[in-house]
Structure formats: C-alpha cells, structure tokens
Structure 1
C-alpha cells in the first residue's frame, strides 16, 4: 500500500508537472530543468523520476521516440536510462537506478517525453485538447 504524501508531495508533483512540461515545450532549457532536478533530495529525485516516467507512458512513448529523445538528450545511447527507454516496449523503473544515474535518467525521460508528447499534441489533441499542460504558452502569456 502506498502512503499519501501530504502537501509536500502535492507541491512537488505540481512543480514537477510545470518544470517538465516547460522543458519539453522549449520554455525552459534542458539545463534549467536539470539544475532544478539536481537540487532535489534523493527521495524527491526518485519521486520525480516515477512521475516523469508516468508522463512518458501516458504519452504512449515508443522505442522510436526513445531513440530520438536520447539523441536530443545528450546522454550516451549506452547509458542505462537510454537503453531502458529504447527497448520495445520501453522499460520503466528509472527511480530504482543508482543515484549516480538519476540526472541522466531525468534528461532522457524529459527528452523522450518531449518527443512523444509533441506527437500527441500534433495528432490526438490537435484543436480539441483540454489538457492544461498542452496550453502553457496561453496560460503563461496572460497577465
């Protein structure tokens, strides 16, 4: 059974959603996203990796998305997170990787999520989408 995390976990989830989507949509650089991620505690990095892995799976990431995302991420294709996301079907469990691999896992997951989510925004959600995270520019540009 999973514990409910309370207000701190809700804040972290909202912040994760904002940072990851801004990074995936080019409103924040990958280095800015990585700097934010690197500032988190080990436990929070693991929570974020689980959350972002979930985003990627919800975007229906494919092995092809994985290859494109890995190339964009700057992470070596032989790194564990790169290999995991490029499998068919892509693997999960990034939070279970050694702490030394968390930053590379975050970079890979965000880059791959960007590829898959862009595809979905341009196909399934085009013109009829109610997902708030697909409308960051509209929300962010309002006073």
Structure 2
C-alpha cells in the first residue's frame, strides 16, 4: 500500500474545510459529518482532527465556546476531548488521542468551531464578509 500523496493531502484539507463549514453553517448535520469522518482510516482521521483543531484556533475559541460546543456535540462533558477543549487555554492535541476517541474528538471540535465561527460571522463578517468559507452554497446532501 502506498502512502497518500501531497495532492491527496490537499484534497482532504479542502474537503475537510467544506464539510466543517457546512456543519458550522447548518448546511450539513453533525451526524452526516461524523459519517463522513468515520469512513477514514485512523491516520486520515488524525489529519482531519489536526485540520479542524487549526480552524478552532483560528476562530479564537473561548472557554464559553468550549462549554457551548460540548453541550451541542452529544459528547459527555467528562470525556477527554470535552475536558481538553474546555481548559483555559484549550488543549488541541486531539490527533494524539487513541483512535477509539477520534469520533468524540471530531464531534467536540466541530461543535466548538461552529459556536465560535457563528459568533465571529455575526459580529465581524455580517453584511461585508469576503471569506469564501462564510459564503457557501446550499448543501447537496
């Protein structure tokens, strides 16, 4: 078996960006995103988790965002990914979690990103946003 090429990595990053932003904007359900994520092997899941953690950092998540996102995620507040994201400052080592925790980590990260990104879209991008990822077409699921 050959390792994925850098083109594959770029394709995965673009697809991750689209899926995560569709979830954040209500154009795709979290469960649909989890289905998409669950189809990947653990090494690809780790790559996606690293990418989504980067989105969360760029969205400048707060502790309040962490708690609100965990509540939306369906993951117990005591689960490792929930605890990590609610720390002050948040811990972003989700790709280092055991593969059995990857789906929980994805649910938490995407949910927290959705809370933070919605806040930022409403406060800073309302009416004059040039960010392509904030202007997605309707979902096709």
CA distance in 1, matches of 2:70, 2:138: 28
For residues 54-111 of structure 1, the C-alpha deviation after alignment (integer angstroms, 9 at most, x for no partner) is 0001000011100000000000000000000001111111000010000000000000
Instruction: Could you tell me which runs of 5 or more consecutive residues in structure 2 were left unpaired when the two chains were aligned.
Output: none
Aligned to 2:100: 100
Aligned equivalents of 1:81, 1:6: Cα separation in 2: 28
Q: CA deviation at 1:25?
A: 1.1
Quote the offset at 1:23 in angstroms.
1.0
Partner of 1:84: 84
- Count of matched residue pairs: 135
Residue 50 of structure 2 corresponds to which residue in structure 1?
A: 50
| Matching residue of 2:121 | 121
* Unpaired segments ≥5 residues, structure 1: none
TM-score of the superposed pair, with normalisation by structure 1: 0.91
CA distance in 1, matches of 2:105, 2:24: 15
Describe the shift of the 1:140–1:27 C-alpha distance in structure 2 as closer, same or farther (beyond 3 A).
Answer: closer
Match of 2:135 in 1: 135
**TM-score, scaled to structure 2:** 0.92
* C-alpha separation in 1, matches of 2:138 and 2:104: 28
CA RMSD of aligned residues (A): 1.1
Q: 2:77–2:83: 8 Å Cα contact kept in structure 1?
A: yes
1:67 match: 67
- 2:27–2:138 CA contact under 8 A, matched in 1: no
